Amino acid sequence: MSNTAIFYGSSTGNTESVAQQIAELLGAEAFDVADSPADKLAEFDNLIFGTSTWGIGDLQDDWESFIDEVESADLNGKTVALFGLGDSGSYADSFVEGMAKIYEVVKEKGCKIVGAVDTDGYEHESSEAVVDGKFVGLAIDEENQGDLTEERVANWVESIKGNF
Ligand SMILES: Cc1cc2nc3c(=O)[nH]c(=O)nc-3n(C[C@H](O)[C@H](O)[C@H](O)COP(=O)(O)O)c2cc1C
């Protein structure tokens, strides 16, 4: 478990806050991708990537460059989990799609991806982050369902722990 790192990008602090909650529950280290921690990718067997969504379905700003580091990293044999922050009220058709942008890259990288989440209880209309009927990782909506965040994070961490 100690060999787990979280890499997050956050513009107003919401994703950072969720990253810290996950880090605490897992006893993992958390790195802000704005600090370009690319060299850290090789040091951990288990990687958790978190982003909020900006524009319409875009990655968080700092992720726009860090995604290239992930793309060129050797992730073979590693286990990867994803989480994404979004607003299902104002952005019902692009909810947490930043997470989908990371998924598109890591799914080609020879790593095992864990932590898909059932869409039940979410209020979005459509999202590229839903693949085969599930979110590709943990979806968090601080604007509309912030009261569920703590429980969602705890349940998700419990569900991925066994893979780490
Ligand atoms: C200009 C703007 C564009 C946004 N675009 C989206 C979007 O396309 N999809 C979505 O789910 N959320 C969108 N959001 C909501 C943010 O992702 C959400 O507020 C998130 O919690 C911000 O997290 P952060 O503080 O970690 O960056 C947008 C918010 C703003 C202000």
Which atom of ligand 1 approaches the CA of 53 most closely? Answer: 17
- Residues 11-57: pLDDT tens digits? 999 999 999 999 999 999 999 999 999 999 999 999 999 999 999 99
**Global confidence as pTM:** 0.98
Using a 6 Å CB cutoff, which residues line ligand 1? 10-15, 52-57, 60, 85-87, 91, 94-97, 142-143
* Residue 28 and residue 21 in contact, taking contact as beta carbons nearer than 8 Å: no
Strand-strand pairing, 79-85 and 112-114:
parallel
Q: How far is the CA of 27 from the centre of ligand 1 (A)?
A: 27
